[in-house]
Amino acid sequence: MDGTDAEVIEASWDDPSVFAEVFHRYYPTVFAYVMRTVGHPDGPDVAADVFVEAYRSRRRYDTSYPNARGWLLGIASHLVGTHYRRKARLRSVPVDETIEGDFADEVAERVDASRSTILTAMGSLRPTEREILSLFVFADLSYREIAQALGIAEGTVRSRLNRSRTKLRNLMAGSNEHRERGQEAPDA
Amino acid sequence: MHDDPFEVLRRLAGDPVPTDADRQRALARLEHAIRTETPRSRFRWLTPIAAAVALFVVMVGVMLVTRPTAVEAALGEIATAARLATPQEIPTGSFLYTRTEETSLGITEQGDLIGIEDPVAYLLPITRQEWDNGDFQQLTITTHTPIFFDPVVEAAYYAHGWDRSDGVGETVTRQLTGITSDLATTNWPTNPNDLKQALDDHASQSGSDLPLDIQVFHLATNLLRGTNPTPALRAALIELLAQLPVTIANQTPDGSITLTITYNQPPATRDTITLDAQGHLIAETNTILQAANSVPAGTNTYQATHTVPIIVNSLDTPDQ
């Protein structure tokens, strides 16, 4: 059906099948965001869950928002966090440690060794820092949009992103230094 | 490797595209959810009622126990003035102009600045000018000379070219079209209680781990800062602030008021906003209350002053 996202969602209150239109409009966007943050093999399932969760929450959608992209990405961000917490519980170890370990392990499997450093380093970020970073890097939201989406000050977004950038840069530099030393060692 | 880590991440992330099989499986799950929802939905109407009752009980309890009458009185006066203001409509070819002077705290981690053992901090001031007519935005950002707490750090900063990466002394102008935000395009309620509920709902969808009151405070601040609210909405936002656990930090004879809200998640932080007598947001600060990442307690990690928005007829910097 035509109409804004809000009109489609409102129509789905009475005719649930209409909600499939939201899926057709945003599945590629949500899929791309989730795959960038979760990857294989769980990414496609999480992306599918986003629309099931959105469907179940559709009556809480504020129809004064004509565009549902931010709402869906907010749900996606929440489910990505839930995904890592669930995996942590399954392994029965402290949640924070496992979130970091899982994230690092999974992304490291998806890239070559020279670049896994930076993604491993993402595992060292706090969950809130990672959430902001993900929305900035993988969803291309601006400082102000992230601030609005998460209900935090723009300055907080900026300082957390600066901190994340510094952490990642340090770890990249440290890894390069380590590699360079490792390459020099045999000659010594 | 000198790549910006965020750019590396973007490159690594690529642009994943779902296969037809991915799409079909996801759609099948959604359709299954649609087919199986009906039996459970009969009871779902109880949830919002229970939530509304719980919220009402909490609000009544909070109002009875901690009703901040001084805050309500002070904000009530400003809200009345805001409600009586003439709506600020932007004629065709004109723009709403705002100038912001802001300073953010930059922090490096240990060893990041070569030659300096300890983490370092410095203040980076910028001037941000914004012209906005709803469909079009022009942003001009000038980055000023940083302020250092240690001359050794200052010397290392320039020696390693960090001034270039921070864009010190540069002015960048961007013109944007078609940029809208949910906050700006939403028709927010103008009854403060309804508005509070709407912002609670908006915040609860954010996934943020901040307390709800803090999130609502930030949303209200964002609305006052960047969306040219109508007089009725501005008044409702100010009345809504009185429902939050804010305290008055300062009041001046010209009628402006500075409000403070504090939260204790580590690191504990205090946010302040200053409203003028008509309810315009004219200043804000974020202050860290516990030392963290080499930043001493009491440091402002962000501070900004905003001019009251004015209508201008060109994209030149107006004389003020």
State the CATH number of the domain containing residue A41.
1.10.1740.10
In a mutational test of the A interface, the residue from B4, B8, B180 whose CB has the highest number of chain A CBs within 10 Å is: B8
Is A12 exposed, middle or buried, given 0-12, 13-18 or 19+ CB atoms closer than 10 A?
Answer: buried
* Cβ separation A32–B210 shorter than 8 A: no
A104: in domain: no
CA distance B194 to B150: 50
Q: B152-158 — which CB contacts under 8 Å span 24+ positions?
A: B152/B116, B153/B113, B153/B116, B153/B120, B153/B122, B154/B122, B156/B113, B156/B114, B156/B115, B156/B116, B157/B113, B157/B122
* Cβ separation A20–B104 shorter than 8 A: no
CA distance A54 to A9: 10
Per-residue model confidence as pLDDT tens digits over B107-163: 665 555 556 556 677 888 999 899 988 778 888 889 899 988 778 878 888 887 778
Instruction: Give the SS3 label for residue B46.
Output: helix
Q: Which of A21-35, B41-55, B266-280 has the lowest mean pLDDT?
A: B41-55
Q: B60-66 — which CB contacts under 8 Å span 24+ positions?
A: B66/B245
Q: How far is A186 from chain B (nearest CA, A)?
A: 22
pLDDT at B97 over 90: yes
CA distance A170 to A150: 27
Domain boundary among A32, A59, A90: A90
Residue from B18, B19, B4, B11 nearest A110 by CA: B11
Measured from the Cβ of residue A154, the count of other Cβ atoms closer than 10 Å reads: 25
Residues 6+ apart with CB under 8 A from B189: B195, B197, B198, B236
- Domain, as residue range, for A121: 111-180
pLDDT at A55 over 70: yes
Same domain assignment for residues A84 and A122: no
Inform me whether the C-beta atom of residue B187 falls under 8 Å from chain A C-beta atoms: yes
Domain boundary among A56, A90, A124: A90
Same domain assignment for residues A153 and A122: yes
- Which chain A residues contact residue B37 at CB under 8 A? 16, 55-56
Residues 6+ apart with CB under 8 A from B257: B74, B75, B78, B248, B250, B251, B274, B275
CATH of the domain at A149: 1.10.10.10
* Cβ separation A172–B222 shorter than 8 A: no
Domain boundary among A90, A121, A142: A90
Same domain assignment for residues A82 and A150: no
Same domain assignment for residues A5 and A85: yes
Mean pLDDT value across residues A10-17: 86
Q: Cα(first)–Cα(last) distance of chain A, in Å?
A: 71
Rg of chain B over Cα atoms, rounded to whole angstroms, equals 24
Name residue B121's beta-bridge partners: B107
A102: in domain: no
In a mutational test of the A interface, the residue from B3, B9, B114 whose CB has the highest number of chain A CBs within 10 Å is: B9
A98: in domain: no
Structural domains in chain A (count): 2
* Cβ separation A131–B207 shorter than 8 A: yes
* Cβ separation A127–B181 shorter than 8 A: no
pTM confidence score: 0.53
Mean pLDDT value across residues A26-45: 87
A150: in domain: yes
A34: in domain: yes
pLDDT at B307 over 70: yes
Same domain assignment for residues A79 and A125: no
Helices and strands counted in chain A (H then E): 9, 0
Q: Which of A84-93, B90-99, B245-254, B278-287 has the lowest mean pLDDT?
A: A84-93
Same domain assignment for residues A11 and A79: yes
Nearest to B10 among A47, A137, A167 (CB): A137
- Give whole-number Cα distances, B222 to A144, B40, B184, B310, in Å: 9, 38, 9, 18
pLDDT at A106 over 90: no
> What pLDDT score was predicted for residue A117?
59
Same domain assignment for residues A1 and A65: yes
Same domain assignment for residues A4 and A86: yes
Same domain assignment for residues A3 and A66: yes
Q: A34-43 — which CB contacts under 8 Å span 24+ positions?
A: A34/A76, A34/A79, A34/A80, A35/B16, A36/A134, A36/A138, A36/B13, A36/B14, A36/B16, A37/A80, A37/A134, A37/A138, A38/A80, A38/A83, A38/A106, A39/A106, A39/A107, A39/A110, A40/A110, A42/A83, A43/B16
Per-residue model confidence as pLDDT tens digits over A158-169: 888 888 888 777
pLDDT at B206 over 80: no
ipTM value > 0.95: no
Q: Give the residue on A whose Cα is nearest the Cα of B119.
A: A166
Same domain assignment for residues A85 and A115: no
Q: Please, which pLDDT band fits residue B296 given cuts at 50, 70 and 90?
A: confident
Render the burial of B78-112: b for 16+ CB within 10 Å, e for the rest: bbebbbeeeeeeeeeeebbbbbbbbbbbbbbbeeb
* Cβ separation B186–A67 shorter than 8 A: no
Q: Tell me how many residue pairs between chain A and chain B have CB atoms under 8 A apart.
A: 189
Same domain assignment for residues A4 and A71: yes
> What pLDDT score was predicted for residue B202?
84
What is the crossing angle of helices A43-56 and A69-90, to 10°?
A: 120
Residue B151 token pair: 């001359």
In a mutational test of the A interface, the residue from B2, B4, B6, B179 whose CB has the highest number of chain A CBs within 10 Å is: B6
DSSP per residue over B138-183, as a string? EEEEEE---EES-HHHHHHHHHTTHHHHHTTT-EEEEEEES---HH
A99: in domain: no
Same domain assignment for residues A115 and A78: no
CA distance B176 to B179: 7
Inform me whether the C-beta atom of residue B182 falls under 8 Å from chain A C-beta atoms: yes
